[in-house]
A and B are shown apart, each in its own frame.
Chain A
């Protein structure tokens, strides 16, 4: 799996025309001398046949050596090590915030009066469809330049990450809330809800203690996808808010054809995605009682969907 990713990246980046040696030395207003180019080519092995480069590249990967960035002249592992924490923290914080918003929306709007449902559903649909680039611009215009409450670009303080996190979290929250509401409706109409009500459980208690747990399962399963979305969104958000991180590193590396760095970032993200998918599966199993004895096929019959009066 990771080998396939590595190969695709290696081939893809070679297919684009252009000379990485020129990119390494180049820049507006500079023209590389032949001597400088030759030195760069020799230094990075760019004068070797492509297959030799590929073989050397795979060999190094197997031993955990990502090589040295063409452009930054530092070991790729160091570059990634310095940036990955920021991106993972950003993605994790966004996921938490997305969950908080989604749970809030689902609890408040599901099965309530028609207008509450309509507003909740509307917010979810719009949120899920928002492009990050646009959302970031609007948030900056409103909260930074307009109200002046929050910094327009990240400045290393907690306040500085609020807008980036919201930019990433809002669309994900929209998706999660849509999914959760569906299953929450199912749950509220399920026999266990009737049983709980008959025990005298309040509607709020029912939602919090029983329905939410039921509704969370598809959301948790979706969280792995959401994490992938957040990491790819980090490219946009880190660039727009001038935050350090893997997304911005990747963008710069792609632009400058920094093969070792691009490859390593893609591999690391692919690896992180695999890990998160596994974790989401585990979490879904823990939350959902039915999963634990899924082998027995002991699932309740699907409940016909019905709106339950509040």
Chain B
């Protein structure tokens, strides 16, 4: 046969015994924009190289030109499965930086929203793990409860996915009665559904065999890799920002920090499931505390910070002072104090940190987002090496990788 000289194969590609397999950037099994160039020997993964950055949007650069309140919509687009946590994390960073004191009721309302967001985040992650192991039912079933959570967001902020919820100093408006009715409905119905969801998976032989012992990591390696959140807790380290450095009055709540032992996909699933029960309990406590407020206190939904919190619209139309503040805030003409701060919240998938440096200008001099999944995605190769390709897919979803957060 004639030698085809116009085809140049990479050196050594005939001799090598492994196959190079490109998964992604878009692939039905990756649930997001992830590319992996894998070397596989049959169905075993020999090595992989993760490529990230396909949806990089230069948030850190954009933030250098925006006043603080305009950065909130950017944070929506980090981990878009739990945007309210990102929003609140950013507000809390600003409030700590500006040394603002918030009323307790605002803190509790925020806790409700953040824990709802955590539930919706974990719910998606766990049900997607189910989908990847072959059980679509759970995913479809719990989707209607995520919908209920989104309706609560909608009632509070007007939008569902990229919520832009809350303002520096509080909320844009008080929670309506509809919001509380929906919350009550959620609290009444969801625990039963979660129990059913758990029954479907937790002791299911097929699910256990697919997830136990795959994608595991020891506590030491997880710490060295910078794991945080449920992934670290599944490896047995009880680090939770809500407990270690409480924000938004988390110290007033009574909750457990579930931990696993092996750090494998099964433990990650169980930890997330257990965290959802804890979140429900926190929401119940917060709702109780909110109902205990009486009189004028029960109507407070923001702190008194005229420099950052927009005045009421009717005041803007009738009062000079309010009009001036309104203009100054909207145009971003408030000078920030000098200094720097690192502030973190417990996001859906780990410690979401904001490192803000201000040089006294109107916009941050530098803003860095500590995105948990960017940091722990490095460990992906170590987690899946030597395992089956199909386990790699499950590992990827059980890590709760969100492309928006990864690429910032």
Q: Are both chains from one complex?
A: no
